[in-house]
Structure 1
Amino acid sequence: MNDSSQESYRQVFKATSIFGGTQVFNIAIGLVRSKLAASLIGTAGYGINSLLSAPLGLIGSLTGLGIGFSAIRNIATTHAEGDQEQFARTVKTLRRWVWVTGLLGMLVTICLASSLSRSSFGNEDYTWAFVALSITFLLGAVSSGQSAVLYGTRRIKDTARSVMIGGVLGALTSIPLYYFYGLKGIVPAIIAASCTSLLLSWYFARRVPVKAVDVSYSESFREGLSFAKMGFMMTLSGLMGSAVAYGLSAFISHMGGVSEVGLYNSGWSITERYVGMVFAAMAADYYPRLSSVSGDRTKVSDMVNQQAEIGILIVGPIMLLYLLSLPILIPLLYTSEFLGVIPFTQWVVIGMLLKVIGWSLGFIALAQGKSALYFRLELVGTVIQTLSIMGGYTIWGLEGVGVAFVISYVLYVTYMVIFYIKTQSFSISKQLFLLFTGMQLLCILAFLSVKFLPNFYGYTVCLLLLIISILLSAHELNKRIEFMNIYQKFKKRFRRKK
């Protein structure tokens, strides 16, 4: 393996480790915060918080246009090219646009405040609460603009510090407000969290050197349209996903009742806890890196393969641990009533490595700024998944949802690979193919063992396969990034300092 490839693998692993650690830290802080909040504001407080946040989230999606995320591509591209002039113009344009979208969200919320209160609470008692919370649109929009600069310039450590400090400060500000003001502290706590997020993102983003440039407002408007176009397609995709999620829940409720819906949603929720943070951690650095080489098809192909390899090496052992711990984890997080979700969630283990590959491919259109193509591919994936789940549930019940998950990703990944082979000369590397085949085989064997062997023997085999997967991952990671050599160098340096 050449030095260039090894360095690329190291960047992927480093970013995933840092952002993954950040996710774990914030989850831990969130659990503590949730526990304290539950004792201070109770279920009523959580209900009020949800009823306030849900409509605000929808308005934010529509008025924000996804600019904070879509602009990362432009920032990453200009920064990688070393074009300081264009980089500065892009940053200035973004900062102007987020003020406009933030003020738009604020204005829409103020105008609809009484209607939002009636639709959420059945009265107008929370009108002024929505008016007060309208400021969070401006704070959040400006904060997203600053965060885009950090992500686009790949300031990994600064981004991680901002998120971690924000999580701690969010807890330190909200808990006292709940303690002293009870339910009346909910609105100030939400606003305080937005202020904290803005201050931190602003502080760290200001450390990125940006050249002073003159850009007229008309130029900013024209240049920012590309952000808005891509962001609008991403917003449509997000809304489509939300609509489908609601539609599938309604379908399952009609076919099997509300208890089935509870099991269905809890199954996805527990899966998200296990692997969602891994995908979030990888995306934080992968998107800007891929954007920076989006004009070179060979580099795009190499980077997609490398990202998928690292993803499989991380997700594979996690899914085997997930399979092994389900009978303990579900009663721990929920109650024994939810054990019926196990057959469904076991199938997810087989499909998750396919999702890693599909997820890695899904960023290509985004990185290349092809908004219409991105939406089309998302639409294809959504249609495949929706029809698969409806068919799977109709035939096999809740377990059929798990079967559908596997089938949908087989179809989706096959479609994506063929599409990019034909349009961009993309190719699956030999290393990725062998790695996927080996780890997938371990996942299938583990699934079959817990599914068909008596409990003791099944889970014993699963444990042995988990150990094999960890050893395989460690071996393959060491081949790619030589972390044992890095560890030895770190150890020597530490000894010198002592």
Structure 2
Amino acid sequence: MNEERDESYSHVLKYTGVFGGVQGLNVLIGLVRNKFVAMLLGPGGMGLVSLFNTTVQLISQATNFGIAMSAVRHISEYYDAGDTERTAHYVKVVRGWCLLTALLGMLVCVVLGPFFSNATFSWGNHTLHFVLLAPAIGMLAVTGGETAILKGVRKLGALALVQIVAALASLAIAIPIYYMFGQAGIVPVIVLMAFATMSATLWFSWRIFPLQLRGTRGILGEGMEMVRLGVAFTLAGIVGSGAEMFVRSYLNVVGNLEVLGLYNAGYMLTITYAGMVFSAMDTDYYPRLSAVNHDVAATNLTVNRQMEVSLLIVAPMLTALIALLPILIPYLFTSEFVPVVPMAQVAALAMFFKVLTMPVAYITLARGYSMTYLMLETAYFVVFVLLIVLGYQYWGLLGTGIAITLAHVFECLMINGYAYKKYGYRMSAAVYRYAIVLLLFGFLAYACTIFLDGIVYWVVELVAIAASALYAFQNLKSSSQVTML
């Protein structure tokens, strides 16, 4: 049993390290890019980038039929069974459907351009901008399908390299264009970044499964089961992207582009930071959980191991982030973004609860209960939007940070409560212990931002960071018997 426990911990640590490291590099590159974007465009320009990106995500989610998620299950089933012929054939099915969704997405973007212009902006006519974003939506559909193929056949190294190439390309594309064209370069940057990501993904995918045009007649009919499974994922994506778009449109109209830019900077810092570990969940954890989804004991073991490792890795980072944000914000962006510090500090607490939620939320996905997933996601985003609106009305930008954290607390209680009753999930004693101790360090770090200042602030914060890191290190070491640097 101890050997199985060590192997489980070692596996989770290994792939969390691989994809967390890749995501960490992506974050570092993204921070460099955002620093230049902040200098070149300012808060208003970053708000504009946020509006266009959110719209692209909304249309993409609404028209991709959830293929990027549902295709993974079908391809991995054939691949794990060793049926190379059916795997290769289903790859053609996925590609055919992705081409169809790409064309649909571009058409929707062009037709609804005037609507999005009126819905997201209270000034000017931006219809042409939305029309010009259509190619990006088509390329996102293709990228999603090819990424699903790579995940289905467990090409984890290729997926990691795609992320690195895409991050470097975004840096090389964004900085010179924004320098030369300012805000006029926002739409071209979004399109070119989508093209770079698609090209990198196709390069790896086509090497494994070369593009074949013969034998494609009738393949769309074969993909109906995949599409039916993906419909609920699509609806959940629409709800999520729609909520994000509503929040950003609301802040733009009720506030202004500067407020939106500040909100987006704070949201990006806190959400992206924890994304280093969440990336590993999507790529490695989800297929592992799917393989044991009908075994309650194995499911509990898999979920708890992932949650324990994620807590021990993420929590000390979040504690440090809360403490260091007053220093980091001016360096990562510009002095114009300093007002976002209080919002980002309280929003960082949300990620503690995200770590306690995501591994459990994947149980529903692994079992294929797509409608349940849709209902849970909808409930969360309704609460999220309501809290953001109320938070901004009463406490301004700080209120949005409080709202983000409260929404994640609600989601954590809802998801864990549902899994407890429906799937027989039981949180391990180790998860409870780690969560209590590490949350206390996190709340101590946040309390210091309210009640302390000067040298006392830094002394207490450094003690909290060191204690959190030491506690996490000792538990990772004792649990996995892996020596970490």
Q: Choose the corresponding residue for 1:245, options 244, 247, 256.
A: 247
CA distance in structure 1 between the partners assigned to 2:45 and 2:250 by the alignment: 28
Instruction: Identify unmatched segments of 5+ residues in structure 2.
Output: none
Indicate the residue corresponding to 1:68 in structure 2.
68
Change (3 A) 1:79 1:434: farther
Whether contact under 8 Å (1:349, 1:447) holds in the other structure is no
Relative to structure 2, which stretch is displaced further, 191-200 or 2-11? 191-200
Indicate the residue corresponding to 1:417 in structure 2.
416
Deviations 1:303-343 (A, max 9, x none): 22111111111111111111221221233345556555444
CA distance in structure 2 between the partners assigned to 1:45 and 1:408 by the alignment: 28
RMSD of Structure 2 on Structure 1 (CA): 4.2
CA distance in structure 2 between the partners assigned to 1:22 and 1:303 by the alignment: 23
Per the normalisation by structure 2, the TM-score is: 0.81
Deviations 1:410-434 (A, max 9, x none): 4432232222111111100111111
Q: How many residues align?
A: 481
Whether contact under 8 Å (1:294, 1:300) holds in the other structure is yes
Deviations 1:379-403 (A, max 9, x none): 2223344445555566666555555
CA distance in structure 2 between the partners assigned to 1:401 and 1:186 by the alignment: 26
Indicate the residue corresponding to 1:93 in structure 2.
93
Indicate the residue corresponding to 1:149 in structure 2.
149
SS in 1 for 2:356: helix
CA distance in structure 2 between the partners assigned to 1:53 and 1:412 by the alignment: 25
Flag the structure with more relative contact order, 1 or 2, with Cα contacts below 8 A and sequence separation at least 6.
2
Whether contact under 8 Å (1:348, 1:406) holds in the other structure is yes
SS in 2 for 1:483: coil
Alignment of 1:97-246 (within 5 A): 97-109=97-109, 134-172=134-172, 192-208=192-208, 216-217=218-219, 219-246=221-248
Relative to structure 2, which stretch is displaced further, 390-399 or 225-234? 390-399
Deviations 1:99-154 (A, max 9, x none): 11112223444556788899989569x85x87776444443322221111122333
Indicate the residue corresponding to 1:490 in structure 2.
none
Q: Could you tell me how far 1:374 is from its partner in structure 2?
A: 0.6
The letter of the residue matching 2:226 is G
Change (3 A) 1:378 1:191: closer
Change (3 A) 1:104 1:340: closer
Tell which structure's C-alpha radius of gyration is larger.
1
The letter of the residue matching 1:474 is F
Relative to structure 2, which stretch is displaced further, 394-403 or 381-390? 394-403
Whether contact under 8 Å (1:15, 1:156) holds in the other structure is no
CA distance in structure 2 between the partners assigned to 1:390 and 1:108 by the alignment: 29
Indicate the residue corresponding to 1:492 in structure 2.
none
Whether contact under 8 Å (2:303, 2:359) holds in the other structure is yes
Indicate the residue corresponding to 1:460 in structure 2.
459
SS in 2 for 1:467: helix
Alignment of 1:305-384 (within 5 A): 305-334=304-333, 339-384=338-383
Whether contact under 8 Å (2:93, 2:223) holds in the other structure is yes
Change (3 A) 1:81 1:439: farther
CA distance in structure 1 between the partners assigned to 2:336 and 2:40 by the alignment: 27
Whether contact under 8 Å (2:55, 2:245) holds in the other structure is no
Q: Could you tell me how far 1:377 is from its partner in structure 2?
A: 0.9
The letter of the residue matching 1:12 is V
Indicate the residue corresponding to 1:12 in structure 2.
12
Whether contact under 8 Å (2:281, 2:359) holds in the other structure is no
The letter of the residue matching 2:230 is A
Instruction: Identify unmatched segments of 5+ residues in structure 1.
Output: 488-498
Indicate the residue corresponding to 1:284 in structure 2.
283
Q: Using the aligned pairs only, state the percent identity.
A: 33
